[in-house]
Chain A
């Protein structure tokens, strides 16, 4: 079974009369996390369950919804089956507050409901191809090796060459039956790789085929080939035309923007800060309507996030295979476009305080432009120009205010990797990957520096 990381997201409209009761239930569940035993889940890295209140977009009410979002690994069906098995009865009570769910659903029906209502998201994981068990084991491995080194150094040992030292460490690990798993295969299988990249591969395959077919068409007359080339290029041109139309439309809307977020009340900011004040990994949720100016903005948004998702996955053969983006502070993050493009939610599990985390991204010009692209549509975000210019680049205060305005309290959060940073998780993984790998002398030196 593969360990591809993904977001499992449900965005379920709440029954209007159930909003308060659902909030009370989530408060109870957060206080007594054993009732939703994610700690026993083998497929859940993080879980966020919260209520997104009713919000206004133009003169339309976007309904109050239950946001159920896990950062999971492996096939989604396995994840859902596990959740229902571990916490089906509590989930049944929780989902009963939502439209379309019946309290008398069987386990199978509940699984079908969850799979059918899974909402698309644009998901990033800094832990791809890791399961919660991997994270835990890698940490145990590191602790065991560190202790071995400390003890041997205290005896005056481990003073040979890097290669000799590494061999001693390998021998130590091999001597420990509880670490026998380190000799099992760890690299993702081809199946896992395909499970992660198939969407990008489809796009890449189409573009590559079109280019090849266009060249072949110069020399070969064939009706089917002609149709493919003409049809393919028509699609490309139509896509580009759509991008131009949307770009111009958004640009006009940008000029009309009337509202920019102001400093939030201090007591609200303090409350939100207190909720993201854990020493290492924190979590936060943003949710709000998009800017009301621009009728095509919802279309652009859905298209943009589809493209961003492909970029996050990486384009096989073109750059880093595994993940297209590496964000040092982020364990997992996702954008969810809901209400037909009129509202966007964002959830992140990250290393840092929330305030430091959101500042981190605007401290370089490139970072601020990416923030404009991925948050510039939000109500209250400072005015952008041509989507990536202006905005957080020129008005960082308003950027911070807009995020504070859209940040919501999380009613229930589960995060098992509380006292290791995402950096630590990555280093621990490298220790495991390099332990028995075939390394050059220089690589052996670098591997020892991980410890």
Chain B
């Protein structure tokens, strides 16, 4: 594999904006899953789209468009076979692959055969992501884009989104707090000052190559980066690979993992209300306390690691904590969702120290850009009110989990298999991720439907956890750099 071009700083003019920002101010969004019905018209549409995409260097002005492709989509657009083969195997095979389904745990109710979209055989080619400040603006933009791609692309699925109060997800917990930052990106001066005054931290920025292809990653090496033959690019859109007779197709691009999961808010809160043995003044407080033990944070986002007894909203954005003094999990259970998804300084401690754990964990980070969908149970998203409304009729609601990674296998798939889905994570015995793991109940090989809450003198074990989430769609996409998109749009 030829090395990709070397860059010292991020080429923000060539990177789609989603890499750097989640468009939090653009509260309305819709994701269109599209089929290419006319290759030539589709390329023509993409030529026009290039100028309308929000770039990483520009703040969005009320609206942002982003575009990504499946492997099938790239093939349909005419990316030469030899170039296509240089994309990662995971991307080429897709999320719905049989072997991958076992590895990711997309079984036991999460099988792709039951998905709403992304099923095998579906002609899913393009993902168009449209963000806007308000719903009317979004509707207008969507209508305009639909008119532009009419005849070229057909809408297979429209994935609507919603923004919940307090940056929460539907269960009522604040989401998106722990987010890696990318080195070599200019920051807000006040944040830069804050960082420079602190000692070296596990939240120090990661090399750009962890998330953007064509840059050095945390190994100080280059992640696999797709390339093309020189003659594939007669328009000379793509940068050269230094010292190699090839062009870089991946430069400034990234892989986008999309998983749509429904959330059964009623089942979640009913279980908390019925089963909680956590301390609390009343049933609601006890339910919230158990919820916190499942999540690893209080509803405000305050981490159990630093606030084990009660919610402290003033700590809601805290992300600097470690588990050094809580290896047993008395404050934050070892199997709690956020500890599994990011074990920080306590990963595989048997033969390694805390700093080695951090070095390892940093190699499995993801930039998350998810959005909720469906109506909230309670508009204010206050946990007490969601608790009170737990018997309300169920509605279709959930989370569009979206993450950006340089290496699907090392980042997303590793975390999903080894940390989220595993019943044996961190010496646990029958505990899968309490929120998002597919449940394997008693009698099943490698049962994972328990949750262990460490306590003195003895743990409390919660058994027969129901399924709180269900995977209903997904796919692997490539979010190209602008030069690569121009190349794709001009393919013969």
Given A263-B224, A355-B409, A277 contacting B99 (CB threshold 8 A): yes
Flag if A326 contacts B458 (CB, 8 Å): no
B461 touches A (CB below 8 Å): yes
Contacts of B223 in A (CB 8 A): 397
B446 beta carbon closer than 8 Å to chain A: yes
Which residues of A150-169 have CB atoms within 8 Å of chain B's CB atoms? 150, 153, 158-162, 165
**A407 CA to B315 CA in the complex, in Å?**
49
A106: CB under 8 A from chain B?
A: no
Complex: how many Å from CA A83 to CA B74? 55
CA distance A395 to B3 in the complex (A): 10
Residue of A nearest to B218 (CB): A363
Among A352, A424, A445, contact of B418 (Cβ-Cβ < 8 Å): A352
Q: Does B348 interact with chain A (Cβ within 8 Å)?
A: yes
Known contacts A273-B103, A328-B350, A353-B418; 16 additional CB pairs below 8 A are: A149-B458, A158-B458, A263-B1, A270-B93, A274-B99, A277-B99, A280-B423, A359-B410, A359-B414, A364-B360, A419-B445, A420-B424, A423-B427, A449-B328, A451-B458, A451-B459
Q: Is A396 an interface residue (CB 8 A)?
A: yes
Closest Cβ of chain A: how far from B437's Cβ, in Å?
12
Residue contact B356 to A364, C-beta cutoff 8 Å = yes
The contact sample of 21 A-B pairs, CB cut-off 8 A, is A142-B429, A149-B458, A150-B461, A150-B463, A165-B458, A266-B89, A266-B93, A273-B103, A277-B99, A351-B424, A353-B103, A355-B409, A360-B348, A364-B356, A364-B359, A394-B219, A394-B220, A397-B224, A421-B424, A423-B350, A427-B427
Q: Mark interface residues in A328-368 (1 if CB within 8 Å of B CB, else 0).
A: 11000000000000000000000111011001101111110
Contact flags B118-160 to A (C-beta < 8 A → 1, else 0): 0000000000000000000000000000000000000000000
In the complex, the chain B residue whose C-beta lies closest to that of A423 is: B427
A325 proximal to B (CB < 8 A): yes
Instruction: Give chain A nearest CB distance to B375 CB in angstroms.
Output: 36
CB nearest to B221 among chain A residues: A396
Within 8 A of B (CB), among A123-169: 142, 146, 149-150, 153, 158-162, 165
Within 8 A of A (CB), among B397-416: 409-410, 414
Shortest CB-to-CB span from A358 to chain B, Å, is 11
B92 at the interface (CB under 8 A from A): yes
B52 interface residue (CB < 8 Å to A) = no
Provide the residues of chain B in CB contact with A448, threshold 8 Å. 457-458
Which chain B residue lies CB-closest to A169? B458
Report the count of interface residues on A (CB-CB < 8 A).
56
Contact partner of B102 among A146, A277, A326, CB < 8 A? A277
| Most A-side CB within 10 Å, residue of B89, B220, B356 | B89
Report yes or no: A363 in contact with B446, Cβ–Cβ below 8 A: no
Provide the residues of chain B in CB contact with A329, threshold 8 Å: 348
Interface size on B, as a range, is 35 or more
Tell me the bound Cα distance from A445 to B92 in angstroms. Answer: 50
Q: Which residue of A lies closest to B448 (CB)?
A: A279
A269 within 8 A of partner (CB)? yes
Contacts of B459 in A (CB 8 A): 149, 449, 451
B418 contact set on A, CB distance < 8 A: 352-353, 356
Q: Chain A contacts of B360 at CB under 8 A?
A: 360, 363-364
Interface residue? B417 (CB, 8 A): yes
Q: Is A327 an interface residue (CB 8 A)?
A: yes
Cβ of B454 within 8 Å of any chain A Cβ, yes or no, is yes
Interface 1/0s, chain B 420-442, versus A by CB < 8 A? 00111011010000000000000
Bound CA–CA A352/B359 (angstroms): 19
Asked if A302 is at the interface (CB within 8 A of a chain B CB), the reply is no
Q: For A158, what are the chain B residues with a Cβ–Cβ distance below 8 Å?
A: 457-458
A262 within 8 A of B: yes
Distance (Å) between the CB of B32 and the closest chain A CB? 29
Cβ–Cβ contact A394 & B221, under 8 A: yes
Find out whether the CB atom of B424 lies under 8 angstroms from the CB atom of A445: no
CB-based nearest B residue for A330: B351
Tell me, in angstroms, the Cα distance from A327 to B348 when the chains sit together. Answer: 9
Interface hits, B77-125 → A, CB 8 Å: 85, 89, 92-93, 97, 99, 102-103
Task: For residue B352, give the distance in angstroms from its CB to the closest CB of chain A.
Answer: 7
Residues in B whose Cβ lies below 8 Å from that of A364? 352, 356, 359-360
Contact of B1 among A150, A270, A325, A397 (CB under 8 A): A397
Residues of B within 8 A of A262 (CB): 1
Residues of A13-34 contacting chain B, CB below 8 A: none
Q: Which residues in A have their C-beta under 8 angstroms from that of B103? A: 273, 277, 353
Set of chain B residues within 8 Å of A395, measured between Cβ atoms: 221
Give B361 Cβ to nearest chain A Cβ, in Å: 9
Q: Give Cα distance in the complex from A34 to B93, angstroms.
A: 36
| Residues of chain A contacted by B92 (CB below 8 angstroms) | 266
**A356 touching B414, Cβ below 8 Å:** yes
